[in-house]
Amino acid sequence: MGTPDIGNPEYFRPSSPDLTLDPKLFIMQILAIFSLAALLSCATSTIAWLPPSPARNVYFLLDIASDHLGYFKLQQNIFEGLFNQLRNIISGTRVGVITFDENVQQLIKLDSNLKLADITTTKVTVRNLGNVFIEINIRDLFSPSEGGLPNASNVIVVFIRGRISDNANAIAAANRLRAKPIRIIYVVIGTDVDLTLAGLASSTDIVLATDVVEVDGYVQLVLNKL
């Protein structure tokens, strides 16, 4: 091994890269580019032909007399009756947890005009974590400017606690929405309930919560379809 001639300026000159074109490599690169372009074109056309998924919302209207405002934990095995009614609204096969805003008690203010104070739009988030978890913030239930639901094809779930006669405001508010293209599902909480359901007798979407159990700060409802 010879001694490097560091005194020669040519020693520090970088060597020129080999710019010789490899025909086979060039052809392979061209084919790869065309294949990628064809794949992207196919994917774009496939996406364009996919039918758009409709925006569907589920609204929950809680009666203002309920002391269960806060968090509800409805697991799959106690949610079957209600979920069967919502199957065409919520995509998925299992329902895990529904949580309500902890400040909802201060936000729900029903009046005779069916408006909620300081409310605009509804946010519904669905997360698939093995089960389907649905977080519904009912802060934005009604549109104050319209005095009603902002979108069509919605479902309202009305939680009624105690006797029907004690929840006249919530029932009347929901019934006034029947002229709109929505579906109303009543969840009656508690065992002291008038099963004739008075003005609700014509409704087929009634679920009776026969038991209310509080576990780890959550309220679990045992639901049965009437």
- Domain contains 176: yes
Q: How far apart are CA 10 and CA 29, in angstroms?
A: 36
Q: Mark whether 100 and 47 lie in a shared domain.
A: no
- Domain contains 210: yes
pLDDT at 35: 66
Tokens standing for residue 24:
């086979």
Count of domains in the chain? 2
Whether the pLDDT of residue 28 is over 70: the answer is yes
CA-based Rg of the chain, rounded to a whole angstrom?
31
- Domain contains 10: no
- Domain contains 106: yes
What percentage of residues in the chain have a pLDDT greater than 70? 3
Q: Mark whether 31 and 112 lie in a shared domain.
A: no
pLDDT band for position 130 (cuts 50, 70, 90)? very low
pLDDT at 26: 67
> Mean pLDDT across the stretch 9-30?
61
Q: How far apart are CA 40 and CA 35, in angstroms?
A: 9
Distance of CA 178 to the CA centre of its chain: 23
Question: Domain range spanning residue 116?
Answer: 58-225
